[in-house]
Amino acid sequence: MLNRSALLLLGLHGACTPSARDTAPTVDEDVLDLRVDWPDPPEGGLQIVTPDIELAPYDDILQCAYGEWDGPDMGVVSMVPLHPQQFHHHSLLKDVPPTDPNQTGDWVPCGGPEDSGGMQRAPLFHAVLIDELQGDGDYLSLPEGMAMRLPAGQRWSADVHYINTTDQTVLVNNAFNLGLVPASEVTRWISSFEHDIGALDIPPGGEFSASFDCPVGEATNILSLSTHMHSYGTRYRIELVRTDGSTQLLVDVPSWDADYRYQPPRGDFKPGEVPVAPGDVVRTTCTWFNGTDSTLTFPTEMCTTSGVALDLQQPLYCENGTVLDRGTR
């Protein structure tokens, strides 16, 4: 089933609903202060907060805050990304592999406009809806008994991206509120995956399409898929390609709207509806119309499929057909 009205985001690229505790922005002729007092996480939950960001006029900043879970094995049952909508591109919690030299507490650049949108890491708690949006923006909203793993010692990077399109200095802050349950209360584990096209060059002067294949991982069932392009997109298509060559159309957006950047079309599936066997791949095809006289690259455009799968033990990040991170759970 395709749900065009739902919001994606773990920040993959959406907007959050301000809470009652949010304060009005402070504005003067030089500084636009969008920082607010974020609400507390659910009782027994976890709040991950990044340092404040100062965006100089026309600045493009992609920063990562490193952290580590020092509690017991838990399940994540809700996740609310908190950020101002203005100038925001994405807020993501990503896996940190053992080879990463950064330490807990580090606040460092984690990519730039020449990259695919951040570090090439598996998403930890992708906020792709499976159920209906709840309250103030529970973008996981998982069915009873399901959760994503938060194991003892899990390291994360809170990856946040802002683009200041004004001649003012802008101040912003970010947080993630996670609802937790003991691992003993979880009956089915799910995990997230992200498939990205990687380096993108859309030539000027007309229509351009690109496709790429990525695996989901071990035998599993896809539960939810979400799309992501920007304002030059025209079509989006996601198919499951099986080892015997047969295909199953999962999401088809024949006419992309610029507003889908913040309200991306999504496909939701019941357990057993989209079984995935080892060797099957998910094929993403994006089409854009570039009416400008310049080549379009990130962050002007993107092509990213995000999803969650049942019984998938580890998150997965795949870029243009190559799996770059299977997570460290």
pLDDT value at residue 12: 35
Class of domain 2-322: mainly beta
Preceding amide of 299 cis, omega within 30: yes
Q: Which residues pair with 55 in a beta bridge?
A: 170
What is the pLDDT confidence band of residue 259, given thresholds at 50, 70 and 90? confident
Most confident listed range (129-133, 162-166, 217-221, 231-235): 231-235
pLDDT at 161 over 90: no
Confidence (pLDDT) at 29: 65
Mean pLDDT of 75-94: 86
Q: Which of 107, 58, 109, 49 is nearest to 80 (CA)?
A: 49
Contacts of 221 (CB under 8 A, 6+ apart): 269, 271, 272, 273, 274, 275, 276, 309, 310, 311
Per-residue confidence at 111, pLDDT binned at 50, 70, 90?
low
The residue count for the chain: 329
Does the structure show a pLDDT above 50 at 216? Answer: yes
Region 274-281: what's the mean pLDDT?
Answer: 93
175: nearest Cα among 80, 61, 68, 53: 80
Closest by Cα among 145, 6, 1, 170 to 77:
145
Instruction: Give the range among 23-27, 186-190, 247-251, 260-264 with minimum mean pLDDT.
Output: 23-27
Alpha carbons within 13 A on the beta-carbon side of 253 = 29
Specify the 3-state DSSP secondary structure of 14. Answer: coil
Residue 56 predicted with pLDDT over 90: yes
Residues with Cβ within 8 Å of residue 64, at least 6 apart in sequence: 94, 102, 106, 107, 108, 109, 110, 118, 119, 157, 158, 159, 160
Instruction: Check pLDDT > 70 for residue 119.
Output: no
What is the reported pLDDT for 98? 84
Residue 113 has pLDDT above 80, yes or no: no
Asked whether the beta carbons of 127 and 170 are under 8 A apart, the reply is no
Q: Helix (H, G, I), strand (E, B), or coil: what is residue 46?
A: strand
Residue 12: name the closest of 102, 110, 118 by CA: 118
Q: Given this model, what pLDDT does residue 206 score?
A: 94
What pLDDT score was predicted for residue 5? 26
- Hey, what are 265's tokens? 């079309």
**Torsion over CA: 149, 129, 196, 250 (sign):** positive
Residue 85: the pLDDT is 82
Query: How high is the pLDDT of residue 181?
Result: 94
Q: If pLDDT is split at 50, 70 and 90, which confidence band does 41 have?
A: very high
Minimum mean pLDDT range among 20-29, 36-45, 211-220, 227-236: 20-29
Helix/strand/coil percentages in the chain, nearest 5 = 0, 45, 55
The mean per-residue pLDDT over the stretch 59-63 comes to: 90
Tokens of 62: 């992609």
Q: What is the per-residue pLDDT for 80?
A: 84
